[in-house]
Copies of this chain bind each other. A is one copy, B any other.
Amino acid sequence: MEKKIITISREFGSGGRTVGHMVAEALGIPFYDKDLVDHIALESGFSPKFIEEHGEHAPGKSLFSYAFAHQGIPGAISGLSTADFLWNIQCSVILQLAEKGPCVIVGRNADYILKDRKDCFHAFIHADNDFRAERIVKMYGETEKSPESRLQEKDKRRKVNYQHYTGRDWGRSQNYDISLSTSTLGIEKCAQIIVDLVNESK
Contacts and interface: CB of A to CB of B under 8 A. Distances in A.
Interface of A: 11, 121, 124, 126, 169, 171-174, 176-181, 184-185, 189, 193, 197, 200
Contact of A124 (B173, B185, B197, B200): B173
Nearest to A183: B177
A124 B171 CA distance: 13
A177 B185 contact: yes
- Report the copy number of this chain in the oligomer: 2
A194 to B, nearest CB: 11
A184 B177 contact: yes
A189 to B, nearest CB: 8
B181 A176 contact: yes
A178 B177 contact: no
A63 to B, nearest CB: 34
Given A169-B169, A193-B193, A178 B181 contact: yes
A191 B80 CA distance: 47
Given A169-B169, A171-B173, A173-B173, A180 B178 contact: yes
A6 to B, nearest CB: 12
Contact of A176 (B121, B173, B177): B173
Nearest to A129: B174
